[in-house]
Amino acid sequence: MSRPIDAGLWQQLTQDLTTEMGTWRRDHPTATLRELEDELDARLNRMRARLLEDLALTSAAAEWSAAPVASHPRCAQCDQPFERKGAKTRTLQTHGGQTLTLERTYGICPVCSTGLFPP
């Protein structure tokens, strides 16, 4: 089953970002607009990766192993329900150059052995 996004966490992270950027600005009073933008982008990219990770993990596709077999994802080649083969971890890179890690239930088609790592 999917888990909800923790709105309180995101409010806190946004507040922390604002505070950190205020501190950075005080520590860099002569920073150019470009430097301000670069610093903000770096911090936003980290937050963006965290949000993407959380959004991906809230998906029902993240954990399908506890669902009845009839509702398991089906193989695109032979239309058989995938069999659960445990959890696998995948490390991906965002457009902002940040790394995120997703853990998903991995499945194998019992007929043609096609593997599935849900999106």
pTM given for the model: 0.62
Range of the domain at 110: 7-116
Angstrom distance (rounded) from CA 111 to CA 76: 12
CA-closest candidate to residue 79, choices 33, 54, 45, 114 = 114
- Examine residue 1 and state whether it is found in any structural domain, yes or no: no
Task: Supply the pLDDT for residue 63.
Answer: 63
- Examine residue 15 and state whether it is found in any structural domain, yes or no: yes
Residue 58, Cβ density class (10 Å: 0-12 exposed, 13-18 middle, ≥19 buried) = middle
Task: Supply the pLDDT for residue 1.
Answer: 44
- Examine residue 64 and state whether it is found in any structural domain, yes or no: yes
Query: Tens of pLDDT along 65-116?
Result: 667 777 778 888 888 888 888 788 888 888 888 998 888 778 888 899 888 7
Query: Tens of pLDDT along 11-31?
Result: 888 999 999 999 999 999 999
Domain tally for the chain?
Answer: 1
Task: For residue 90, list its beta bridge partners.
Answer: 102
The arithmetic mean of pLDDT across residues 35-64, rounded, is 83
Provide the sign of the torsion angle of the four alpha carbons 5, 10, 13, 17, taken in this order. positive
Angstrom distance (rounded) from CA 73 to CA 64: 8
- Examine residue 2 and state whether it is found in any structural domain, yes or no: no
- Examine residue 38 and state whether it is found in any structural domain, yes or no: yes
**Residues 97, 45 contacting (CB under 8 angstroms):** yes
What is the side-by-side strand order in the sheet with 83-93? Answer: 83-93, 99-108, 115-116
pLDDT at 48 over 70: yes
